[in-house]
Structure 1
Amino acid sequence: MLTDDLNRIRRIRIALLIGALALFALLYAPQPVLPQFSDAFGLAPGTVALLVSAGTLGLAIAAIPLGTLSEVYGRRRIMVGSLLLAEAIGVLLPFIGSFPLLVGLRLVQGAAVAGIAAVAAAYLADETGGRDLGTTMGLYVAGTTVGGMSGRLLGGIAGDYAGWAGGVAAVAVLGAICTVGFVLLLPQERHQRRQELRWKPLLVGVRAAATDPALRPPFLVAALGMGAFVAVYNVLGFRLVEPPLSVPPALAALAFLAYAAGTVTSAVAGRLADRWGRPRVLLAGLGTALLGLLLMLAGNLVVILVGLVVFTGGFFAAHSVASGWVGLLASPSARGQASAMYQLAYYGGSSVGGVVGGVAYAAWGWNGMSAVLGCSLLLAGIAVLSGRRSERRRAEPVVAPAQVASES
């Protein structure tokens, strides 16, 4: 029996890692080919960034409704249906020639992938029993970085040879393979206790999470940190391919290999947070991200890429810790809704930050944009310092489902 349980847990982890890979590959499919979109449609960087922001905005809007519905209809059903819809839209996108329609479809696609992003943490906590939770969630977030990196890398290289449509199509093929594996591997729930479809009691937890002052610091870290992260990666392609760097697009796409740093730091940060406390490790992650942002001010390509690795590693370390902090600080009766609220902050910040970063870059260049993003990271650090008292006031529960999000 014990062997069967261990095999089932291993199967769940593999399935969710594959699902996360598909989720983040599809969610950010347009990002590595934004310069090609800009050329094809004759649009400025801030405008084409809407293709990324629309997806993350859809996820932010749909996270709470789908997370709540999973309590009624089952977590596996919501996750599988969501990923199938997102993949179907991914296959359709390369054939669309209207930019407004592309933005609209991306909004729907983002809402679809919310079914995994908002539900996976609760499913994992229910079905694994919370065993080694900090380490498990750190490894899960590390897996999401693989999806973000592989999708962007594949799309960027394919896009250099086949235009934006070829880049997006290549990511759709990757997503299709992962979707099949996810559907085949993910087991039915055994431990979820479903609720009746009564919105009022289900939304009580949403209100509790939204008004809990102890949760504001990790929510602010999610919004401000992710906004800065997406802004950097949205604009980076433009900076690399434009003079004076003039890097070929296929080679510029290799910059997304920096995501590998997040794979390492998110797993390490999860373990360190269990040992040293979340606020301390979270501040270290934000400080590392700020250091990377400062390094990228250099005009030397090597220093820029080193700064990108440092920035990426710091951000994912902070995200891994902040997501777990939500589960520990939230009221036991509102952990699922707090998880969804974190998603709202995370991807809402991504949507706003992606557009703001593009506009700032067009107006003030890379240095001006970096100043805006640096202020965001500093504000996130201040929020963490203010939240240390909340953590001291609350005893950590024995089992606490952490928040999962990617990215990515």
Structure 2
Amino acid sequence: MDSAASTPKHDGSAAARDDRDVLRMASALFLAGFATFSLIYCVQPLLPEFATEFGVSPATSSLALSLTTACLAFSIVCAGMVSQAWGRRGLMFVSMGGAALLNLAASFAPHWPVLLVARALEGLVLGGVPAVAMAYLAEEVPHGKLGKVMGLYIGGTAFGGMIGRVAIGGLTEFLSWRAAMGTLSVVAGLSALAFILLLPPSRNFQRQPGFNLRFHLEAWKAHLRDAGLRRFFLVGFLSMGAFVTVYNYAGFRLVAEPFRLGQTQIGLIFLAYVFGIFASSAAGAMVDRLGRSRVITCGALATMAGLVLTLSSTLPAIIAGICVLTTGFFIVHSVASGAVGRLANGNKGHASSLYLLSYYAGASLMGSVGGAVWHVGQWAAVVAYAGMLTLGVLCIACSRPMSLRVEKP
């Protein structure tokens, strides 16, 4: 719990945070991003393994990820309400620790339905991290440093997604997917302990004791009436849908002819997330020079260029394409997520929860639709589908109302 939550300060104390506090925040939230996204996406390179071991189709195997993100989207909304009464810091810690335990349970699942239940519960528990993390940063970090710290948090999510996938691939090939998931669960649990030791208590959080449904509904309605925020919610939905679809089914393409890659080799491809880490950190500085709309446009164009490259029949070109589209996606996500926290007029946790609801709904719904697309037309159809979603992002970024809303200092 936040020890200072009951006596909030709204006198500009965020600006008074010294560099040491800001460094601790950045480090703690980097760990939160790492643990959360390594747990969510550790199953992505395992989808072909699940299809083989449990005798399910590629589209059905993707439920191991889609159910997690669907439950995560729902729980983010609830977590926003709970954090108003409990505080940000404690809720994030409980969520990280609980999710690590549930992922460990999933690694022992004897049957496919048991694994899906564990993964769904994991998504429900993890909802306490993403929305609350964004709200904490928006409340506590000085405005002049928010872009960089938010970029580092998003970089932590990229690092977690990368390490989760790469480590899972290597450990699965040399041990088993169960041992791989169990090992990652332990690492995520240790990250949760380091997180709670590093993160300073809130200074600017205003506790809302009890449960006032009307208060939460009014907060969400106020944010949804903001046309600028609605556009960012849609950007998160479309961009994440395209990104998850590509990564869900890239493994199925690369284990088949003519590539026939092993789990370790497929896992190494996820090192493309390194580009996402740097892109997230650089995006904040790019916004200062170019404005949010232009940076999102650049990110969407990079994503589309990467998609085109993956149509090649040569492995180096495919890997290059994945690196380029990963860079583009993280540019878009970093800018959009940071803008939501900055533009929200009060109740920033509610604004963040709506953005992340859209973001993970895109991962779950659009990622599942991608399974049907893969079944119909294989990789070319997947690229066309992801390209249409990204084109939607590009259209929103180029729209005049978005530019007017977000370019204000």
Shorter-chain TM-score category? over 0.9
Q: CA RMSD in A?
A: 1.9
Quick one: which of 146, 162, 185 aligns to 1:133? Answer: 146
Aligned pair 1:392/2:404, yes or no?
A: yes
Stretch of structure 1 that moved more, 208-217 or 304-313: 208-217
Aligned to 1:402: none
- Give per-residue Cα distances to partners, 1:116-157, cap 9 Å, x unaligned: 101011212323233422222122212211111011111111
The 3-state SS of whatever aligns with 1:193 is coil
Aligned to 1:337: 350
Q: What is the CA-CA distance between 1:105 and the residue it aligns to?
A: 1.6
CA offsets, 1:281-323, max 9 Å, x none? 1011000000000000000000000001001001101111111
Cα pair 1:224 1:376 within 8 Å, conserved: yes
Q: Does 1:28 align with 2:28?
A: no
Deviation at residue 210 of structure 1 after TM alignment: 2.5
Of 169, 177, 184, the residue aligned with 2:190 is: 177
Aligned partners of 1:4, 1:145: CA distance in 2, in Å? Answer: 26
Aligned AA (2:117): G
Structure 2 residue 222 is the aligned partner of structure 1 residue 203: no
The answer to whether structure 1 residue 77 and structure 2 residue 90 are counterparts is yes
Change (3 A) 1:273 1:259: same
Q: What whole-Å deviation, never above 9, does each CA across 1:17-63 have from its counterpart, x for those lacking one?
A: 11111111111121111111111001111100000011111110011
Tell me which residue corresponds to 1:51.
Answer: 64
The answer to whether structure 1 residue 272 and structure 2 residue 286 are counterparts is yes
- The question of 1:165 aligning with 2:167 is answered no
1:232 and 2:220 aligned: no
Equivalent residue, structure 1, for 2:21: 8
Alpha-carbon displacement from aligned partner over 1:89-134 (angstroms, at most 9, x marks no partner): 0111111112122112211111211111010112123232334222
The percent identity for this pair of structures is: 38
1:146 paired residue number: 159
2:115 matched to which residue of 1? 102
Once the two structures are superposed, residues 201-231 of structure 1 have per-residue CA deviations (whole angstroms, 9 ceiling, x without a partner) of 1321111222332222211111111011011
1:327 aligns with 2:341: yes
Q: Give 2:301's match in structure 1, choosing from 273, 287, 296.
A: 287
* Alignment: residue pair count: 395
Given residue 182 of structure 1, which amino acid in structure 2 is its aligned partner? F
8 Å CA contact 1:154, 1:170 repeated in 2: no
Equivalent AA in structure 2 for residue 279 of structure 1: S
* Structure 2 CA distance for aligned equivalents of residues 390 and 189 of structure 1: 32
Name the counterpart of 1:300. 314
2:12 equivalent in structure 1: none
Q: CA deviation at 1:65?
A: 1.3
Query: 1 CA distance for matches of 2:357 and 2:405?
Result: 26
Aligned residue in 1 for 2:7 = none
- Shift in alpha-carbon separation, 1:296–1:130, aligned structure 2, 3 A: same
Q: Which amino acid aligns with 1:313?
A: T
Check if 1:318 corresponds to 2:332.
yes
Q: 1:268 to 1:18 in 2, by over 3 A?
A: same
Residues 220-262 of structure 1 deviation map (CA, whole Å, 9 limit, x = unaligned): 1111110110111111111111111111221111000000010
Distance 1:183 1:30 in 2: 26
Report if aligned partners of 1:56, 1:351 keep a CA contact under 8 Å in 2: yes
4 and 304 in structure 1: CA distance in 2 versus 1, 3 angstrom threshold: closer
Summarize the Cα distance change of 1:299–1:196 in structure 2 as closer, same or farther, 3 Å threshold: same
TM-score by length of 1: 0.92
2 CA distance for matches of 1:140 and 1:272? 17
Please give the alpha-carbon distance, in whole angstroms, between the structure 2 residues aligned to 1:3 and 1:345.
33
Aligned match of 2:104: 91
CA contact (8 A) 1:31 1:152 kept: yes
Q: Bigger CA drift: 162-171 or 45-54?
A: 162-171
* Cα distance in 2, alignment partners of residues 54 and 154 from structure 1: 22
Q: Which amino acid aligns with 1:381?
A: L
CA distance in structure 1 between the aligned counterparts of 2:406 and 2:264, rounded to whole angstroms: 50
Name the CA distance, whole Å, in 1 between partners of 2:143 and 2:84.
Answer: 18
Q: Which residue of 2 aligns with 1:213?
A: 227
Q: Structure 1 residues 295-304 or 110-119, which shifts more?
A: 110-119
2:124 paired with 1:111: yes
Question: Does the C-alpha gap of structure 1 residues 101 and 77 become closer, same or farther in structure 2, counting only changes over 3 Å?
Answer: same
Partner in structure 2 of residue 404 of structure 1? none
Q: Could you report, residue by residue, the CA deviation over 1:317-348 in whole angstroms, capped at 9, with x for unpaired residues?
A: 11111112223443x13432111100000000
Whole-Å Cα distance in 2 between the matches of residues 335 and 157 of structure 1?
40
Give the secondary structure class of the aligned counterpart of 1:243.
Answer: coil
1:49-96 alpha-carbon deviations (Å, 9 max, x no partner): 000011111110011111121111111121111111111101111111
User: Aligned partners of 1:188, 1:167: CA distance in 2, in Å?
Assistant: 34
Q: What does residue 401 of structure 1 align with? A: none
Q: Distance in 2 between matches of 1:226 and 1:210?
A: 20
Kept after mapping to 2: 8 A contact 1:217/1:380: no
1:163 CA drift (Å): 2.9
Q: Assess, with a 3 A threshold, how the Cα gap between structure 1 residues 99 and 31 changes in structure 2: closer, same or farther.
A: same
Q: Is the 8 A contact 2:287 2:335 kept in 1?
A: yes
Structure 1 residue ranges, 4+ long, deviating more than 4 angstroms after superposition:
none
